[in-house]
């Protein structure tokens, strides 16, 4: 998806910044993480191409829970549904994305280390790109019809409802940003969790209100997006064991001093 590529490019652009020591609690290896992020972003964009959309549904049945939720949540009228979908786009690609960049910049300013901005954004971008790969692969694999059926508002994606890519993107971005803040020990990490997950939940609601997704599409998107957004920073980038200092330092040693890396 284009959104994942945008976040990935924003992270990689920070490579031009001069290297500086980074916080001890998050570990990033640009030689590995940058190619992984770019490859995952490119794959997500490729999987989203209309040419790859399934020609017929494979998961065609609709359950009573989804039908009841649709009747209760969708907005009446094509105009109201369209506005709901547009607002979900703004929150997804605008508010949440700008928020992730802003929080990473604030964290770097708090540390006094510009390199932490690159590291934080790279980890977030990697999480979002991987979540987007999973969402697009599921859409093509399940080939579930959208609630709106043959509506022309989504050309080429009529049978790509499960699971919600917008919701997965929102929760992976919000969760990854908040998890990185937690690992860094930011004082505002709880606010990142609260605001991010609230906005992501709003995206899921708006996708249903706009008749673009079923309830189970949104729940699955939220679950997978949150899992990836948490797992990538926590299990692959959190430094285990006691903290150690990066960079150069002079410390006392027997017979003189030692240069410690």
Q: What is the pLDDT of residues 94-140, one digit of tens each?
A: 999 999 999 889 888 887 777 889 999 999 999 999 999 999 999 98
- Give the model's pLDDT for residue 8: 42
User: CA 105, CA 103: separation in Å to the nearest integer?
Assistant: 5
User: pTM value?
Assistant: 0.81
For residue 129, what are its two tokens?
Answer: 């790109």
User: CA 244, CA 118: separation in Å to the nearest integer?
Assistant: 20
What pLDDT digit, counting tens, does each position of 12-32 carry? 433 333 333 344 588 999 999
71: helix, coil or strand? helix
Long-range contacts: 100-107, Cβ < 8 Å, 24+? 100/7, 100/124, 100/173, 100/176, 100/177, 101/10, 103/177, 103/181, 103/188, 103/192, 104/177, 104/180, 106/188, 107/181, 107/184, 107/186
Exposure pattern of 92-123 as b/e (b: 16+ CB <10 Å)?
bbebbbebbbebbeebbeebebbbbbbbbbbb
What pLDDT digit, counting tens, does each position of 203-232 carry? 999 999 999 999 999 999 999 999 999 999
The pLDDT mean for the chain works out to 82
Percent of the chain with pLDDT over 70: 79
- Give the model's pLDDT for residue 256: 53
Token pair 């079923």 is found at 214
For residue 155, name the pLDDT band (cuts at 50, 70, 90).
low
């Amino acid at each position: 998806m284009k959104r994942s590529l945008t976040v990935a490019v924003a992270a990689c652009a920070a490579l031009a910044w001069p290297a500086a020591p980074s916080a001890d609690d998050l570990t990033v290896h640009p030689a590995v993480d940058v190619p992984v992020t770019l490859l995952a972003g490119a794959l997500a964009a490729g999987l989203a191409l209309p040419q790859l959309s399934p020609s017929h549904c494979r998961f065609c049945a609709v359950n009573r829970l989804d039908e009841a939720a649709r009747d209760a949540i969708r907005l009446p009228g094509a105009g109201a549904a369209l506005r709901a979908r547009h607002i979900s786009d703004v929150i997804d690609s605008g508010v949440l994305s700008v928020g992730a960049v802003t929080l990473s910049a604030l964290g770097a300013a708090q540390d006094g280390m510009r390199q932490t901005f690159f590291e934080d954004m790279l980890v977030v971008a990697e999480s979002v790109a991987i979540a987007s790969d999973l969402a697009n692969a599921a859409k093509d694999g399940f080939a579930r019809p959208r609630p709106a059926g043959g509506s022309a508002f989504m050309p080429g994606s009529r049978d790509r409802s499960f699971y919600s890519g917008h919701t997965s993107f929102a929760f992976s971005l919000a969760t990854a940003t908040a998890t990185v803040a937690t690992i860094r020990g930011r004082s505002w990490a709880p606010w990142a969790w609260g605001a991010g997950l609230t906005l992501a939940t709003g995206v899921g609601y708006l996708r249903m209100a706009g008749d673009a997704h079923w309830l189970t599409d949104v729940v699955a998107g939220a679950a997978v997006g949150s899992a990836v957004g948490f797992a990538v920073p926590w299990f692959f980038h959190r430094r285990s064991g006691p903290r150690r200092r990066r960079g150069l330092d002079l410390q006392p040693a027997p017979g003189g001093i030692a240069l410690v890396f």
